[in-house]
Amino acid sequence: MKASIRSKLSQLSVRKEEIDRVLATGSATQDLDSYRRITKELAEIEPLVRLYELHCRASADLSTAREMASDPQLKDFAESEMHVVQEELAKIELELQQQLLPRDPNDERSVFLEIRAGAGGDESGLFAGDLFRMYCRFAERQGWNVELVSRTPSEAGGFKEVICKISGRGVYSKLKFESGGHRVQRIPETETQGRIHTSACTVAVLPELDDVSDTVITPAEIRIDTFRASGAGGQHINKTDSAVRVTHLPTGIVVECQDDRSQHKNKAQALAVLSARIKDRQLRERAEKTATERRLLIGSGDRSERIRTYNFPQGRVSDHRINLTLYKIGQIMDGELDELIAALGTEYQAEQLAALGEDQ
C-alpha cells in the first residue's frame, strides 16, 4: 500500500475515534444539525476504517509468518500461511482503492434518454427506432419505468428524434456510458443489390435534476410557445393547443413536448428536459476548462465521438472505447446489454484506479 493512502486511512481512523467519543456524550443530540452531519460522516468513513483495520491485522500476520519461515521446522507451514495472507492483503487493498474512488453523485438518478437520427437518411431513422426499442427492453429487464416525453417520427418508420424518461434505481450508473455516436452497418430492406449501408444515430443520457431550480432558469430567459399537437392522438389532441415548445434564449436550446394531452404536463416535462440539457452543457464546459492531459476515455461522453458499431451482416457489436466485440447482435438489440455495460464499468473503474495511483 502506498504511504499516502496509508496516511489518509490512518487519519480517517483517528477521525472515527473522535466521532465515537462525541457520540458517546449525552450532549451529542442537542444540536440536531451537527448530529446529522457527524453521523453522516461516520457512515461514510466507517467501511474504510474497518477495511484498514483488517489490512493492519493481515500485515501483522504476514510479518509473523515471515519470522516463522526462518525456523526450518516451521518453514513449510509459514510459507503456506504467507501465501494465504498475501492473497487476502491484495483483496483488501483493491477494495480499499475502490472505496477511495470518487463517487458520481448522479449515479442513482433517473435519466432523460435522447436518440436522434444522423447521417444515413431513412435507415438512420429506422436505426433510431431500433435503439429506442433496445433501451426500452433493457429498462424492462431492470424493472425500470419508461415514459415517453417527445417523439418526431420519420417518414419511413422509426424516429427523427425520440426522448424518454427512464426512472428507477441506479439508472444513470448503468446508462451513463451510452452517450455518443452509434453506427449501424446493414442491408436495408429496400436495397435490391445487397449492398451494406452505413448510418448513424446520436444518443444522449442526461441525469434528471432533483428540481428544475437546480439549474437557474429565469422567466426572462425562456420563451414558451403552445401549438396543436401533430400526428396520431385522436380528435381531442388535434383540437387543443396542448403541445409546448420551450426555447432557452441564452443558449438557443429548444425542447418540444406534445405526447401528453395535458398542456401543463407537457410544459413540466419540457422544462425538466431543458434543465437537464443546460446542466449537461454547463458540466461539459467546466470539464473542458479544467481538462488535463490525462482524460478518462470512457467518461468523456462526447456526442461527436463514435462509440459503438452494430454490424448486422457479421452479427457483431463493437465498442470502440474498450476494444470489445461481441458476436451476439440479436440478443443485444433485444436489450441484453449487461455484458457491455459491465465491461464499460470495469474499464472505467480501472482507469480511475490508475489515475488514483498517479496522484499519490
Q: Sign of torsion, CA 277 281 282 283?
A: positive
Q: What angle do CA 63, 65, 66 make, to 5 degrees?
A: 65
Determine contact, residues 182/201, Cβ cutoff 8 Å: yes
Distances 337 to 206, 298, 349 between C-alpha atoms, Å: 19, 16, 18
Determine contact, residues 222/247, Cβ cutoff 8 Å: yes
DSSP labels, 193-208: S---EEEEEEEEEEEP
Burial tier of 5 (Cβ tally within 10 Å: 0-12, 13-18, 19+): middle
- CATH code that applies to domain 111-291+304-350: 3.30.70.1660
Q: Is 169 left (phi over 0), alpha (psi -120 to 50) or beta?
A: beta
The Cα–Cα gap between 250 and 126 comes to 33
Looking at residue 318, its pLDDT comes to 96
The Cα–Cα gap between 128 and 179 comes to 14
The Cα–Cα gap between 42 and 358 comes to 28
Residue type, 148: L
3-state helix, strand, coil in the chain (%, to 5): 50, 20, 30
Per-residue pLDDT of the chain in tens (360 residues, 90 and over written 9): 677 778 888 888 999 999 999 888 878 788 888 888 888 889 888 988 999 999 999 999 999 999 998 888 888 998 999 999 999 998 998 888 777 777 788 888 899 999 999 988 889 999 999 999 999 999 999 999 999 988 889 988 899 999 999 999 889 999 999 999 999 999 887 777 778 999 999 999 998 887 654 556 777 888 888 887 765 444 444 456 778 888 988 888 888 888 777 888 888 888 888 888 888 887 777 666 544 433 445 555 455 678 999 999 999 999 999 999 999 999 999 999 999 999 998 888 777 777 665 555
Burial tier of 17 (Cβ tally within 10 Å: 0-12, 13-18, 19+): exposed
The alpha-carbon radius of gyration of the chain (Å, integer) is 27
Looking at residue 171, its pLDDT comes to 94
Contacts of 290 (CB under 8 A, 6+ apart): none
Looking at residue 231, its pLDDT comes to 54
3-state secondary structure of 71: coil
Parallel, antiparallel, or unpaired for β 253-257 and 306-311?
A: unpaired
DSSP 163: E
The Cα–Cα gap between 109 and 170 comes to 6
Task: Give the HSE-up count for residue 96: Cα atoms under 13 Å, Cβ half-sphere.
Answer: 24
pTM: 0.67
Looking at residue 359, its pLDDT comes to 54
What are the cell numbers at 106? 448522479
The Cα–Cα gap between 177 and 344 comes to 7
The Cα–Cα gap between 199 and 184 comes to 5
Element (H, E) at 149: strand 145-153
Looking at residue 133, its pLDDT comes to 97
β-bridge mates for residue 165, sequence order: 112, 147
The Cα–Cα gap between 265 and 122 comes to 31
Residue type, 41: E
Largest CA distance in the chain: 94
Looking at residue 25, its pLDDT comes to 85
What are the cell numbers at 272? 425538466
Terminal-to-terminal C-alpha distance of the chain? 11
The Cα–Cα gap between 52 and 46 comes to 10
Looking at residue 215, its pLDDT comes to 57
Q: Is 225 left (phi over 0), alpha (psi -120 to 50) or beta?
A: beta
